[in-house]
Structures are given as C-alpha cells and as structure tokens.
Structure 1
C-alpha cells in the first residue's frame, strides 16, 4: 500500500464518530405499600391534642351543659383528688388492682383454652365443625345478653365476673389462631414434608411460627374486648373496680368522675396494647416484612 493510502486511511479513522454506548439501566426505588415503616406517633399526638382542644372549645362556648360535659380542667382536678383520696369507699389503686386481677385472670383462661382450640380448628375439619357452631352463636352477642345467665349459674361472686370476661376474650383468640393456621402457604408445608419433617416438627417449626402473628393480634383484640366488657362484669355486686367506680358515679350524675374512670380504663388498655406490641416485636420480628 502506498504512503498516500496509509495517510488517508489514518485520517478516516480519526474522523470516524465514536460508537455510542448503550445506556445504563436506571435503578428505581421501590415504593412502600400501605403506611410504610415511618412512625405515626406525631400524627397520633396531634390528633389527641386536637380532640382535647375541641372538647375545651365546646365547653367554653357553653354548647353543652356542664352536667353532661365537664371541662377538661374539672376532670383533671377531680382525677387528682381521686388519686389522693380515693372514691366510692376505696382508693384508686384498690379499684385498679381489682379490675386488673379480673382482666388478667380472664385473659389467662381465654389464652390457655383459646389457642389450642383455634389451632385444632385450623388443622382438623372435625374440630372446626364441632367448635365453630357454639362460638359463632355466642360471639356476636353483647356480654350484657348473657350476664343474667352468669348470675343465675355462678352467683354474684368473682367467678361470674371472670367467666364473663373470659367468654368475651375467648372467641377472638380462637378465631385468630384458626386464621393463622389457615393462612399458612401449602408450599411451605410441602417443602417441610419433602425434607422429611415429622408431624410434630411440622407443627413446631412451620405451623406455630406462621400462626403466631395472627395469634398475638387476636390476643390484643381480646384484651380490648375484655376492657370494654369490664363495666358490665363489675355490675355483678362489685364493691371494687374501675367499672364499679364508673357505675357508682353515674348513679349520682357525677359526669366528671365518669370521665376519670373512662380515662383510667383507656390508660390501662393502652398500656396492655403497647406491651403486646413489644411482645410482637420480640417474638415475630418478621411480621409485615415477608
């Protein structure tokens, strides 16, 4: 090749446009579905403050008589007085401890019986057929509907109160345990069986951990049902308890004392719910991350 041809070829290579590179894939950050993982404490606190402000505004405007809706300051003042001097022939701690004893006793009974029954209903067709009928029959009934039966059958002592609370908490625990078993993916069961798992290993390592989040949620719901039933349970010849304090105040139209009792129940229920959230975070840290 001549020298002129070589120079022409070199010049052509220099003037050739460089090849365009293929664009790199752009990474897209996945968006969370639902509420995500951000805390809602600020929103909850702001909502509570807004409700208190609305309550204060209604009472200051005189839209409702103080006999029916006392001011927040009056309720707070009476709450401090009840904390120091007691109410209805008992201290505030005596009322709270009596109610806590009934709630905890009923919760132990409901959990100890409800979880095995619910798991059995989820695993056995016969168990589901036998237990579902009575549970579905009494579950929609308000506790006041079978309160007279508790008095007739068990008397007016502590037994009738605890049984009434246990019945209110039993059904949510059973139904949540059953739902936890029924939500178990069949592929997970088949994988365990293909690896040679025994029935006990399948239950202990697959069924129970998978159902545990639902069970803990059911216990939280059951505790809420127990606190909402407390006033009805303490109608039965009680002399101590937050529900008894509320009913005693209502007889004298002491609305501020009723508000104090409601606030105490709300604080106790919140403490129970918060404790259950901590237990959930400890036992089932994978919940919501599957």
Structure 2
C-alpha cells in the first residue's frame, strides 16, 4: 500500500522506485523476450543450478568432515584450523584468485558458493558432536559397542537436528553470495541481470531480480523446514 501510494503520488522519481504496474509489465516483457538475449527462466535456472551444485558439494564434504572432526581429535587437528581460517573471510575477497586459478567459467562461480556454504555446515556438525553427553558414549562403550557403532547409533542421530540447522545457514550464506558470484565475468544468471541492469538505471529489472531471489529464498527455507520436520520429527518433543 505504501509503495502504491508513493509511486501514485510521484513522491519519488520512477528511476528510484518504479510502480508495481511497471514492474509487472516489465516482468511480462522479460518472460517473453528475455534479458541480454537470454530468456528470463534461463537466467533463473542457471542461478539455481549454480547454487544447487555448490550446496550439494558443501553437504557431501562438510557433513562428514564436521562430524568426524568432532569425533576424532586427529581429523580435528588437520581440518578445523583450515575451516576456521576460511570462515571469517568474505567470499568476494578471494573471488579474483578463484578466477585466476579456475578461469571465468562455471567452476570459479560454483567454487565461490561452495566455499561460502562449507563453513556453516561444518561448524554446525562439529558443535553438535561436541555437545553430546559423554555418558551416552561411555555407556555404549562399556556395553561393548565399537567406535563405528557408537558413531552410527549415537553420534550421527544426535547430530541430525544441527545438521539441518547448518544446512539452512549454508544455503542462506551461499544464496546471499550468488550476486557476487555472478557480478564478475558472467553473462547470465539473476545476479548478473541485477548488476547489468543497474549500469543502465533499469530499476524495474533490478526489482524483478530482487523479488525473484527473495521469493525463492523464502520457498527454499520453507522446504528445508518441512524436510527437517519430516526427518527430525522427535525434535522438541518431551
């Protein structure tokens, strides 16, 4: 309502805040004719593909590394310092290096998103293991359980809720990095579309990209919440 009122009364120039009607008309045009010679849905799918591949790689590597680092001191001594070094560095800080090492193709972009998503998953898994009550581990050991049996039957189930928390954080961090990944040496993707349209003051196109990313981010988070409720149905129950 405020947006409609501000644009209807011309309180701000259209280049700063386009009307909802103009944004809707621009969306229809982009859907039919695309942007920069690429269809709008293609830009969207390219962005989602980059995000999905990066997050899947972070899951495949981050979950076992985090769990084993919390469970095996030797692995912690090797892996934890590296993750703690990467964690506070803004991903964009080493993007230029990634381009020099990996080129301007998809590999550097996916690697940037992967490095952004890896620390949250790792840290959530690591912390979940360190919080497990030692009495559970000692009781299982006294009953003759091997270290592998203890890991599979106690450590991993106890860590599952925190794994989903780390996954949601990782997706959020990678998602907020997607525009940075597509702003350099790119010619496709929603992030690139936002950056490119800003050069020509096409604020309606920018808002379309922002709205698409925002709605998709909410849907992804809701999907992860539903998956968590399905697989961790006991969490929070007494």
Shorter-normalised TM range: over 0.9
Quote the offset at 1:252 in angstroms: 0.6
Displacement of 1:120 in angstroms is 1.7
User: For residues 87 and 134 of structure 1, what CA distance do their matches in structure 2 show?
Assistant: 40
User: How far 1:80 sits from its partner (Å)?
Assistant: 2.5
Describe the superposition over 1:3-56 as per-residue Cα deviations: whole angstroms up to 9, x where unpaired: xxxxxxxxxxxxxxxxxxxxxxxxxxxxxxxxxxxxxxxxxxxxxxxxxx3333
Deviation at 1:62, TM superposition (A): 4.0
What's the counterpart of residue 154 of structure 2? 206
Change (3 A) 1:186 1:90: same
Partner of 1:185: 133
Question: Which residue in 2 is equivalent to 1:41?
Answer: none
> Is there any run of 5+ residues in structure 2 with no aligned partner, and where?
none
Matching of residues 100-249 of structure 1 within 5 Å: 100-249=48-197
Please name the residue that 1:44 is paired with. none
Q: Does 1:78 pair with 2:26?
A: yes
Q: Is 1:258 the counterpart of 2:209 in the alignment? A: no
Deviating more after overlay: 276-285 vs 263-272 = 263-272
Shift of residue 61, structure 1, vs aligned partner? 4.7
CA distance in 1, matches of 2:16, 2:149: 59
1:182 & 1:54 partners in 2: Cα distance?
49
More helix by share: 2
**Partner residue in 2 for 1:59:** 7
Contact 1:151 1:236 in 2 (8 A): no
Name the CA distance, whole Å, in 2 between partners of 1:63 and 1:192: 69
**Residue 36 of structure 2 aligns with which residue?**
88
After the TM superposition, which of the residue ranges 236-245 and 246-255 deviates more from structure 2?
Answer: 236-245
Which has the higher mean CA deviation after the structures are superposed, 240-249 or 125-134? 125-134
Q: Equivalents in 1 of 2:135, 2:8: separation in Å?
A: 62
Alpha-carbon shift at residue 128 of structure 1 (Å)? 2.5
What's the counterpart of residue 278 of structure 1?
226
Cα distance in 2 for partners of 1:286, 1:185 equals 18
1:149 Cα deviation after fit: 0.6
**Mapped contact 1:88–1:248 kept (Cα < 8 A):** no
For the residue of structure 1 that corresponds to 2:177, the secondary structure is helix
| Aligned-pair CA distance for 1:236 | 3.2
Structure 2 CA distance, aligned partners of 1:268 and 1:61?
31
The Cα shift of 1:198 comes to: 2.1
Greater Cα radius of gyration, structure 1 or 2 = 1
| CA drift at 1:170 | 0.6
How many residues were matched structurally?
A: 238
TM-score, normalised via structure 2 length = 0.93
User: TM-score when scaled to structure 1?
Assistant: 0.77
Instruction: Give the Å deviation of 1:63.
Output: 4.1
Q: What residue is the counterpart of 1:13 in the other structure?
A: none
Greater relative contact order (Cα 8 A, min sep 6): structure 1 or 2? 2
